[in-house]
Structure 1
Amino acid sequence: MRPAELDRVTVAEAADRYVELVRARTLTGGLSAATAEVYARDAATFVALAGADQVLDDLTGEDVDAILLAFARKPDGRRPSTTGQPPSSSERPPAASVGSSVGSSVGQSPSSQARFRRSISALFKHATLAGWVQVDPMAASTVTARQRGGLRPERRALTREQAQGLVGAARSLERSPGEGRRDQRTELRDALVVLLLATMGPRVSELVRANVEDFFTNDGVRYWRIFGKGGRTRDVPLPAVVAGALDAYLARGRAASPDKALLLSWRGRRLARGDVQAVIDRVQARVDPAQRRSVTPHGLRHTTATHLLADAVDMDAVRRVLGHSDLSTLGRYRDELPGELEVAMRVHPLLRGPDPAQ
């Protein structure tokens, strides 16, 4: 159980206590000496980046993000620096730098970044149990560790204006396909890819796995039978605009091929997962720069969930659209939107209709 009172220890003191505990575990065989030293080294780096005199409980998720990214940029001593003088690793960047690029040729390797995140996660987990922090700030961190690609800011939903700009660019492609040989034009396919991702939020694996036969009509409504995780399937109705884009692509844009895949390259082969980002980027290039923001396929899945939920669509319906087995999973896909609280208060349900003062 957690202690009744919070112990406001500094970062340095918390790290010292934690490392002492970790090293004690080597005496009982619970941890190897080499692993304990890795934890100790990472704890020392954490102290240098966070600030030794900083109170541990005062660190926020944004602070953790800044620390993780500062570590990612920290020169790797095993590789030579190309700049001559490496930047000081003791300078802690502002939280606003979370969106900066990481993973330069002289920075930490992806595996080192992932290991460092695990180390400080373990430290904060112990700190929560010991009563050194009220809330584990790792839960609010938006920077995650990946074995490939290193640390990166979590992908987020597009705003309504950005999403509408992207959808509008896709629809303009559908209305005015380009010049050249019909079997080498990809505009209708690109439009369909973006519309499916932005309005229905499939996983990229579900999108590229789709076959023509997975789309059917029932009572005048077009459906997509999506084959998702764990062998589960879901039938999701297509918005009218998306159904129109599908029909246009099948009639005029899909390359002739015996392959049953829905999305084909101009050579007639099934589109690969890695090709989808290039499709999004091509459509994004047509968006007005004031509305443009780079986004990944998974970011468009966030976009679908966020805007459906923001528009008061039933949570269980959104869960079924995305193919989640549990409602609790939706929390990871719901992102804050600028101005949404102001809108919510303007249209408060208790203040609609008759004057409440009467």
Structure 2
Amino acid sequence: MIRRVLSAGLARVRVMRPAELEPLSVQEAVDRYVEMVRAKTSTGQFSPATAEVYCRDVATFADLAGGDRMLDDLDGADVDAVLLAFARRPDGRRRSPAAPGAARSPGSAGAPVGPVQSAASQARFRRSVSVFFRYAVPAGWVQLDPMRAVTVSARQRGGLRAERRALTVEQAGGLVGAAQRMVGEGPGRERRRDQRTELRDALVVLLLATVGPRVSELTRANVEDFFVNGGERYWRVFGKGGRTRDVPLPRPVVRVLEAYLEEGRVVLDRGVEPKALLLSWRGRRLARGDVQAVIDRVLGRVEPSRRRQVTPHGLRHTTATHLLAAATDMDAVRRVLGHADLSTLGRYRDDLPGELEAAMRAHPLLDDAGGADAVTGAG
């Protein structure tokens, strides 16, 4: 998506290539590029979410490549080294469950802390760097695109295959159950009343696990986006491409939403973000980067046998997988998730343990009342 958007936005730039090279350091080129992206965002050519991801990726590239180096000096081997360094970089969204807060284990100098970058994150980063250089060539910052000489493979990047993202029934049930139990907790003594976020955290997890919104859709949600029609509570989700969808909320989620609006949000409201649904304890709109921390806090309440680390996008996969496994109409699932094309669901449908076995036990050509004999012609 980033590649398509940026390619369209930069089409005019590629037509004219300057005759002379403008020597720029990596940091100078990245700073100019970020300015261009932000300018196009202000005119509506890029979405804020796309711009945020892209600016973060090129800033990371400058950090790993060395901001003081000349951009035109980078070759394929240098970019290979950056891609490998990014792949082994700890994922800041998640902590290692074995050693939370620990810097490094003894005897493991240079080893990454916690989970490293997922295959999807590596692919996104590579696309971002590729588009950056495709802009740099016609802009006159480099003579040749070093991405054409990149040789590092997915195997070397550690991105052969992403871990299955959807939670199993037991794992999802443990997470949802932990979130629901947080609703009935009384005020504690460890924090001031205006710093307690249990109701908000429970709502975040339940919306992600049952409705499957994109994390940007969740953090952009306003109180006024939740309305009642015909006795049903709906969430008007403002999605990608300016599209909106009205999603009915399950009744257990509605109860948590109402409790949060009546009790939880009131104590967090400082009047800074009067419309935002999800607030930090400082009264500001919850940021995208805070959502993973919320999930991790709720996961800490799940019994170890049912606990598995998961990202916000992994919960989106969980929603799609379990709705489809329950034989929910595919078009209804598409509308819940906000996909424009039905074929996109194929990427969100993950395998579940025991699914094939259950399907074969309920085979339509066989039954316990002699269906096998009917098939073989016996009797």
The aligned counterpart of 2:218 is 207
TM-score normalised over the length of structure 1? 0.60
Matched residue SS, 1:290: helix
Give the secondary structure class of the aligned counterpart of 1:161: helix
Aligned partners of 1:186 and 1:327: how far apart in 2?
37
The code of the aligned residue for 1:38 comes to: G
Provide Cα deviations, 1:331-355, integer angstroms capped at 9, x if missing partner: 1111111111001112234446975
Matched-pair identity in % = 66
**1:131-174, CA deviations, whole angstroms, 9 ceiling, x for partnerless residues?**
xxxxxxx8x99965xxxxxx993561111111111001001101
1:294 corresponds to 2:313: no
Q: Distance in 2 between matches of 1:207 and 1:215?
A: 12
User: Residues of 2 paired with 1:120 and 1:152: CA distance?
Assistant: 24
Give the match for residue 205 of structure 2: 194
Letter of the 2:209 counterpart: A
Change (3 A) 1:102 1:192: closer
Residue 256 of structure 1 aligns to which amino acid in structure 2? D
**Residue range with higher mean Cα deviation, 306-315 or 194-203:** 306-315
Please show how residues 234-253 of structure 1 align to structure 2 within 5 Å: 234-253=245-264
Structure 2 match to 1:53: none
Contact 2:76–2:151, Cα closer than 8 Å, also in 1: no
Unaligned runs of 5+ in 2: 1-71, 90-106, 131-146, 375-379
Q: Which amino acid aligns with 2:166?
A: A
Give the TM-score normalised by the residue count of structure 2. 0.57
1:256 and 2:269 are equivalent in the alignment: yes
Give distance in 1, aligned partners of 2:158 and 2:251: 37
Equivalents in 1 of 2:269, 2:85: separation in Å? 51
Query: Match for residue 233 of structure 1?
Result: 244
**What residue identity is the alignment partner of 2:337?**
L
Do the aligned partners of 2:330 and 2:342 also contact (CA within 8 Å) in 1?
A: yes
Say whether residues 1:272 and 2:312 are aligned partners: no
Equivalent residue letter for 1:250: L
Question: For 1:25-83, what per-residue CA distance to the aligned partner results, in whole angstroms no more than 9, with x for missing partners?
Answer: xxxxxxxxx99x839x97xx9xxxxxxxxxxxxxxxxxxxxxx9899569xxxxxxxx9
Amino acid at match of 1:217: V
**Alpha-carbon distance in 2 for matches of 1:142, 1:321:** 34
Post-superposition Cα deviations, 1:86-132, rounded to whole Å, max 9, x if no partner, equal: 99xxxxxxxxxxxx9547xxxx9x769977xx8799999xxxxxxxx
Provide closer, same or farther for how the CA distance between residues 228 and 177 of structure 1 changes in structure 2, counting only shifts above 3 A.
Answer: farther
Structure 1 vs Structure 2 CA RMSD: 4.1
SS of residue in 2 equivalent to 1:207 = helix
Q: Point out where structure 1 has 5 or more consecutive residues left out of the alignment.
A: 1-33, 46-67, 75-82, 88-99, 125-137, 145-150
CA 1:285–1:340 in 2, change beyond 3 Å: closer, same or farther?
same
Note closer, same or farther for the CA distance 1:200–1:353 as it changes in structure 2 (3 Å cut): farther
In structure 1, what is the equivalent of residue 179 of structure 2? 170
The number of equivalent residue pairs is 254
Deviates more, 1:191-200 or 1:305-314: 305-314
Distance between the aligned counterparts of 2:86 and 2:236, measured in 1? 44
Residue of structure 1 equivalent to 2:76:
38
Mapped to 1, the partners of 2:236 and 2:324 lie a distance apart of 22
2:262 is paired with a residue whose SS is: helix
Say if 1:178 and 1:344 are closer, same or farther in 2 by CA, change over 3 A: farther
